[in-house]
A and B are shown apart, each in its own frame.
Chain A
Amino acid sequence: EDQVTQSPEALRLQEGESSSLNCSYTVSGLRGLFWYRQDPGKGPEFLFTLYSAGEEKEKERLKATLTKKESFLHITAPKPEDSATYLCAVPTGGGNKLTFGTGTQLKVEL
């Protein structure tokens, strides 16, 4: 069965304190991996898509990497506005649906 597991469930950082979020997956025939950000009361907002092991993508303070078994979302010098739930997802069922992890709830404090 296709599975996506994220850790930690929750993370509290001080402003400027860098860290990494983990997403491990068990799928047959990986067709890419997606990172989304979700703010309370809103829908997931697309951040990155990674297609193959070794690939990296960056956007402002975020950097996503992908290996054959997991992906990391590195947050460098975070700010309070980076506080959100970060979700990772992989295409399954022929690529037509996304299987999501349960997310990492990040809180960045001053």
Chain B
Amino acid sequence: NAGVMQNPRHLVRRRGQEARLRCSPMKGHSHVYWYRQLPEEGLKFMVYLQKENIIDESGMPKERFSAEFPKEGPSILRIQQVVRGDSAAYFCASSPRAGTAKNIQYFGAGTRLSVL
């Protein structure tokens, strides 16, 4: 049973370029979460999605960041016009349900974004 798959594992972009991060949840999971881990900081929630719906984007920066989870295919976190401050590890998690104390989120290995 494959876990949460993220790709690419490492991504290098120059300032002003776009970054696309992909996440395939565990089999049977329809809830996806994105978190960001800045150097020397803890994991911070960004967005929570179900298939074709954004449920909670309270942690997403207002500009340049967007996320989607289409009916078919992986979830995508998109960062437009990247800046050096976007350099971080981005983690995706998935769960089979949401909103309860039994909602265990399983994490992928992350994508490490470096902005030159």
A residues near B (Cβ < 8 Å) are 31-32, 34, 36, 41-46, 49, 51, 87, 89, 91, 93-103
Contacts and interface: CB of A to CB of B under 8 A. Distances in A.
A95 B104 contact: no
Given A43-B108, A97-B33, A97-B59, A49 B45 contact: no
A34 B100 CA distance: 12
Interface of B: 4, 6, 33, 35, 41-45, 48, 55-56, 58-59, 91, 98-110
Would you call the interface of chain B mostly helix, strand, loop, or mixed?
loop
A44 B56 contact: no
Given A43-B110, A44-B91, A102-B41, A96 B48 contact: yes
In the A-B complex, list the 6 residue pairs whose CB atoms are closest, starting with the nearest. A32-B101, A43-B107, A97-B45, A102-B42, A95-B99, A100-B43
